[in-house]
Amino acid sequence: MNKSSVNYSIIIPHKNIPTLLRRCLDSIPKRNDVQIIVVDDNSDPGIVDFSKFPGLNETNIEVYFTKEGKGAGYARNIGLSKAKGKWLIFADADDFFNDCFHEIMDKYQTVDADIIFFLSNSVECDTMHPIESRGKIYNEWLIESLKKGIILEEVRYCINPPWAKIFSNSFIKANQIQFDEVFTANDVMFSVKSSHLANKILIDANYLYCSTVRSDSLDSQTQLDHIQSRFEVALEKYNYLLEIGKTKYRMDVFNFIMQVKKQNNPDWIKHFLIPTIKTMKFKDISIDLFLKFKDKTKYLFIERCITD
């Protein structure tokens, strides 16, 4: 594919869900200016028929098979290294794009921006039944930004997923922004760094992306290693926000601590509470603990009123 003719590079990490990947690929308009990059993260040959892998030998689709098993962040970075387009678009293999995608591609071929944000909707993955959007609060921030004619700081610092966004390839490469190659939450730092560094952000009120919900997705996992990864990324984000004076937009670290404590893990103090105390400023810890206690007290009061 000629690099000069590519407007959009769409990067999709994949692991063990070929049927859903097929659906995602089918939602992408068939255009000569689109490069689709699928990076397989060491899928199980007992689940995936590699001879019939979705996208293999199809026009404008490049499939890369990795055997390291380093996760979606590593797969996305492989995709970044192969991307030729002016714009970068990211999708999860179990999600898909809405019908407006072709029109949006026509609209933004030559636009000057670092990042373009879009609205998103959600469906239940298997039944396709519409449900409340996983990006509901993101949509609210974006719509409020449009109404006020500004980019809310919540848009810059709190929209962690890379989907429902279009990134300038030259902007990402100039700032050497990559995904964390971690177990879970690999996209948080990519999103916060890119949004902070972006000089020109646009918002489009079209629903570009459909983010699905399924019971066995990474987001739904509560095993210790998943919680640990999210926790460590939350502290990494806190340190970054501390450097730029934006700790107001930190993640709720105590949510992870409470999850581990409820699992009766004996190391919750050593591996979660102590690192939090060493990393976060006392003022921020105090505020978070107060809010956590306040919410718990409110919940207990409501529960007592209902049961009385």
Render pLDDT for 254-296 as a digit per residue (tens, 0 to 9).
999 999 999 988 989 999 999 999 999 999 999 999 888 776 5
Q: pLDDT tens across 67-85, in order? A: 999 999 999 999 999 999 9
Q: What angle do CA 215, 257, 213 make, to 5 degrees?
A: 15
Indicate the pLDDT class of residue 299, thresholds 50, 70 and 90: very low
Which residues, in sequence order, are CB contacts of 287 under 8 Å at separation 6+? none
Q: Worst-scoring range by mean pLDDT, 82-96, 126-140, 217-231?
A: 217-231
Domain boundaries, the chain: 3-216, 224-307
Where is average pLDDT lowest: 106-110, 205-209, 291-295? 291-295
Residue 218 predicted with pLDDT over 90: no
Which are the contacts of 48, defined by CB distance < 8 A and separation ≥ 6? 16, 18, 40
CATH class of the domain at 3-216 = alpha beta
With a pLDDT cut of 70, the percent of the chain lying above it is 92
Please say whether the beta carbons of 210 and 97 come within 8 A: yes
Q: What is the mean pLDDT of residues 196-200?
A: 98
Return mean pLDDT, the chain. 93
Contact criterion met (CB below 8 Å) for 171 and 114: yes
Supply 189's token pair. Answer: 């730092």
